[in-house]
Amino acid sequence: MIVFLNDRPIRLVGAKTAKQVAPTDSKPLRDYDQIVDARLETLKPEALQGHLLILNTTPALIAKLLTLLQTDAISDLLSVTLSCLNKTDCETAIKKPFKIIKAAGGVVIKNKKMLLMFRRSVWDLPKGKLDDGESSRQGAAREVEEETGVRVAVGERICTTWHTYKLNGNRILKRTKWYLMSVLDDRNMAPQEDEDIEQLAWLDQRQTKKALTNSFSSIRYVIDETNKLIG
């Protein structure tokens, strides 16, 4: 599970994966700037720098981490990897302070180009909240058509992202399931202006890479996962 908390990736891994990310004598700091072992030391604000690895993570430590991330200056923090003693318990703990909203979206491909949209001064992908009783696949297709005017065929699932934001004083954690899509009909393609979408564009790989410098970490992650899927 990966949660984008204030657009910073917080990755939760279980025991098997933890063996792959844990430091060894041959690569003690190759992937991480800071390493904290929760069994041996207390998590302090000064550890929230660069790429942080926390070993032996418990739900109590996650609660403390969330508090630190809300109250302390963390401008130097790039990412956190949590090596969990019990991954299920840790996932429950990181969701606990938030209201969960379920959403779905898509990466639309046509002639080896991706459909991106420019909204609120950043490049983004079409997505939105699921309606009552709607499946993720149905919601993804509906949201893409509503926001872009493009009718699509929904293919395989790319990944699931979780990202946080505030709405009317509530702390929201949005779960979005992402799907690979192909075009059925794009003759009515147009940005949904009442959703603040200013522009739609079919971008090739080079153009997409440039656009992603002005985007969200979660969107960059989705497109990275898409590229792995399509090769």
Q: Give the integer Cα–Cα distance in Å for 56 and 43.
A: 12
| pLDDT for residue 126 | 97
| pLDDT for residue 15 | 67
Is the separation of the CB atoms in 113 and 203 below 8 Å? yes
Q: What is the mean pLDDT of each run of 10 residues along the chain (231 residues)?
A: 92 73 51 90 91 94 91 81 94 95 97 96 96 96 97 97 88 96 97 94 96 96 95 80
99-230 CATH fold = Nucleoside Triphosphate Pyrophosphohydrolase (3.90.79)
Say what the pTM is. 0.88
Question: Which tokens hold the place of 157?
Answer: 């699932």
Alpha helix ranges (H) inside 23-135: 59-71, 87-95
What ranges do the domains of the chain cover? Answer: 2-95, 99-230
| pLDDT for residue 26 | 47
Distances in Å between the Cα of 8 and the Cα atoms of 85, 141, 183, 198 are 22, 28, 32, 26
**Residue 51 burial (10 A CB sphere; 0-12, 13-18, 19+):** middle
Name the residue among 122, 104, 124 with its Cα closest to residue 114: 124
Name the residue among 118, 120, 115, 140 with its Cα closest to residue 129: 140
| pLDDT for residue 21 | 56
